[in-house]
Amino acid sequence: IMIFGHECRQLSTIFNDVCIYLYHLFTKKLYWDSDLLSSQCLEQYCIATTGKGEPTGHIWCFIDALFYSGHEKQYTIQFQAITIPDGLIASLSG
């Protein structure tokens, strides 16, 4: 089967090579961001969630792992995103 003028196995090789290249290029960014998630920042995030009504003062992030699959017509877990109170994604895996 030809797609974009190439065999599927060629496209698969290109895709995998690009993924490996991007992994090596951004490998340090794919792990825990010690600047964004330092102990001082975590304390500030706890203060921010408490200011919005969180009663314990121990919540610093929100986990989202749902993904709607149009193909399967249902919600599935495709990844896990940790969002901090300022709206940034602090960690993403999956």
What pLDDT, on a 0 to 100 scale, did the predictor assign at position 77? 67
Neighbours of 67 (CB within 10 A): 13
Show pLDDT as tens, one digit a residue, over the chain (94 residues): 777 888 888 989 999 999 999 988 988 776 777 788 889 999 999 999 999 999 999 999 888 766 667 777 777 766 778 888 888 888 777 6
DSSP 29: G
Structure tokens at 56: 């314990």
What pLDDT, on a 0 to 100 scale, did the predictor assign at position 18? 94
What pLDDT, on a 0 to 100 scale, did the predictor assign at position 17? 94
**Can you give the pTM of this predicted structure?**
0.52
Place of tokens 């995030």: 45
What pLDDT, on a 0 to 100 scale, did the predictor assign at position 28? 74
Chain centroid to CA 42: 18
Q: Are 81 and 91 in contact (CB under 8 A)?
A: yes
At 16 the three-state DSSP class reads: helix
Q: What is the domain partition of the chain in residue ranges?
A: 1-31, 32-94
Structure tokens at 81: 């995103």
What pLDDT, on a 0 to 100 scale, did the predictor assign at position 50? 93
